[in-house]
A and B are shown apart, each in its own frame.
Chain A
Amino acid sequence: MVEFINEKIFGFSPTEAALAVPGQVIVALWAAFLILNLIAVGALLFIWMERKIAGRIQDRLGPTRVGGRFGWLQTLADGIKLIAKEDLMPGGADGLLFRLAPYVAFCASFGAFIALPFATGWVGLELNVAVFFITAVLGLEVFGVILAGYASASKWSLFGAMREAAQVISYEVPLGLCIVIPVMIAGTMDLIKIGNEQAGWFTNWFLFHDPFTFITAFVYFTCATASVNRAPFDLAEAESELVAGFHTEYSGLRWSFFFMAEYGSMLLVSALGAILFCGGWNGPIPVVAMIGGEHASQLSGFAFVVANLLGTIMFLGKAILGVTLMMWARWTLPRLRIDQVITTCWKYCTPIVGVMFIGVMVWQAYQLPSPRDLGWGSLEPGSVREAWHPSDEAKATPAVDKQARVDDLQMTDDAQARVE
């Protein structure tokens, strides 16, 4: 796409990559625009869903008037109300940090989306370490919360922020371990490759790889809910004790930025879970492959775009399903106490994931049977598995002593196969 814009629109084909920037800037702006709109429109949808689901679970109707029968324009009305609200700041607050905090939270949520693929090759920035990048950037969101809580000069806010900090720092441990397990099976941290490894029938999903990954997926969901600060883990904004926690002193548009960040993060962790455990953009039935004979990653041109569009719809569907589950949990379960939250993390989630980690390791090492062995519609491992850079691989073959050295060292099966 970069070459296309440079050649067709600017009319030159740059010889040096450093000069290709105008095209790159346009592509980057386009990607940023799409992601921003995904978060904003997603927030509109999720706030309406939240109200509707909460209503139905509590045996009432939820919004019914704005925008017709289902009240589907309710969020827009909410947004107009928020924009029209007076923007307040407490007298004792630290002005700079108080103003910046919502943007920090939002930027962290937005930044993580950059590396999230929506289908084969459709990603803001294709990173070799996408999983790692997303977890790293997502962890920064809590910083916005802490800044908000601290800068508000309010004890409720500060308590909320401290709880959030303790909770997020704790839950990063089991969450990271949960993420390592699919990475270990896939052999790469590239989300596109992880997604493509699960191509084909739903039996190829890592969720069904073995009993351990099945349990891990649920632990991941629990930890993800906690790490994005959703009920029953929403201690930071526990309204029964802390008024509204870290955003007690916020109003109007600044407050809504926190909510955009929260819904953005919910979508992000659900999407990440969908890629890691539920096949990402690959449907339960490989429809595209059945009709076209090939997976989207092997197609090109128009067929590729159509296949990827279907994949994106499938992927967003899974992500929204995850968000819906979080809402269901929020309106069903009572809020935990802070000691129960930390206990859940350190005494339950972390040991369970540790055992699952060892279990999956053993399962992989002894090559125990898994539904993936049926290989229904799966891609060849070589076409998705990341290994050495091709030039390294080409050079590694000739020297004999090197080969012996390589064989001595424990390497991935794949690398060994290539050397041989």
Chain B
Amino acid sequence: MDPINWHTLFFLLFAGIACAFALGVVFSSNVVRMAFFLIISLAATAGLFFLAGADFVGAMQLVLYVGGTLVLLVFGVMLTAQSPFISIRTSGGDWILAALVGGSMLAILVPTALMIGERANMPSAEADATTRAEPPGAIQPVVMAKEEPTVAMLPPVPVESRPTATNIGQALIGVRVDKLEETNERKRAGLAGYVMPFEVISIHLLVVLVGAAFLARARRRAKSRFADAA
């Protein structure tokens, strides 16, 4: 049996699907086809998360992005439908703007991706020697891929699937259980988890909900007043 590294194979498969359909989104001109390609691309990204052992983030990707695209599509079609198949033509200015934004993103991401190999070996090796009894050179299994979305780019190791949902939940209510035993002071930073961002986002969403409800109410009231006047 050939020692094929299946993890890499699946990674390349999902990454290839994600990239190919992302290009499909760019080069298609039909709104619904674009949305369909985008959904496949995002679903392949969710596949990458599952491959990295981050079940929760993968499922979240499906709910938020794939479901979100769906809503976007529905409203896009409903609000813009003039002819049977809507096509979008990209103007020259849009191309330049998109190339600028996309190019600068790429310029940041490529060096970061190349740095990961060094970073994975550098500081954690000494810290790990004290806390974990792992053979030297072994790369620590990824517990929370949420912190490191680029984890799939690490040298391929089989990722053991460990329950991440509880850890993420505990982190949201104020304690990073994965950092409780951390002896390295630098790595202990952020032990308090994400209570503050969580609360801020909750209040933000509440405001959005109230605003949406208010807008929906106001429109109806205006109409009924108009009806009374008539």
In the complex, A392 Cα to B32 Cα: how many Å?
Answer: 47
Q: Chain A: which residue is nearest B162 at the CB level?
A: A389
One of A18-26, A37-45, A309-317 contacting the partner? A18-26
Q: Is B33 an interface residue (CB 8 A)?
A: yes
B174 near A409 (CB under 8 angstroms)? yes
Q: Which of B15-33 contact A (CB under 8 A)?
A: 30, 32-33
0 or 1 for each of B150-192: is its CB under 8 Å from A? (1 = yes): 0000001110111111110010011101101100000000000
**Pairwise interchain contact A410-B173, C-beta atoms closer than 8 A:** yes
Chain A, residues 291-333, CB within 8 Å of chain B (1/0): the string is: 0000000000000000000000000000000000000000000
The residue among B7, B62, B164 with the most chain A CB atoms within 10 A of its own CB is B62
Task: Classify the interface of chain A: helix, strand, loop or mixed.
Answer: helix
Interface size on A, residues (CB 8 A): 52
Contact across chains for A406 and B181 when beta carbons are under 8 A apart: no
Residue B71 interfacial (CB < 8 Å): yes
Name the interface residues of B83-140: CB closer than 8 Å to any CB of A: 84-85
Binds B, one of A46-54, A126-134, A230-238, A361-369: A126-134
A189 CB contacts on chain B under 8 angstroms: 165
Q: Which residue of B lies closest to A394 (CB)?
A: B181
Closest to A18 in B: B158
Q: Which residue of A21, A146, A388 is within 8 Å of B4 (Cβ)?
A: A21
Partner of A146, one of B63, B67, B70: B70
Those of A215-245 within 8 Å (CB) of chain B: none
User: Would B177 and A388 count as touching, CB distance under 8 A?
Assistant: yes
Bound Cα distance from A182 to B138, whole angstroms: 40
Kindly report which residue of chain A lies nearest to residue B195, judged by CB atoms: A409
- Footprint of B on A, CB under 8 Å? 10, 12, 16-19, 21-22, 92, 94, 96-97, 100, 127-129, 132-133, 135-137, 139-140, 142-143, 146-147, 150-151, 153, 162, 165-166, 169, 172, 189-190, 386-389, 392, 395-396, 399, 402, 405-406, 409-411, 415
Q: Can you list 26 A-B contacts (CB < 8 A)?
A: A10-B1, A16-B158, A18-B6, A21-B4, A22-B1, A94-B33, A94-B85, A97-B32, A128-B163, A129-B55, A132-B56, A132-B165, A136-B67, A139-B67, A140-B67, A143-B39, A146-B73, A147-B32, A150-B77, A151-B32, A388-B170, A389-B163, A392-B181, A396-B177, A409-B174, A411-B175
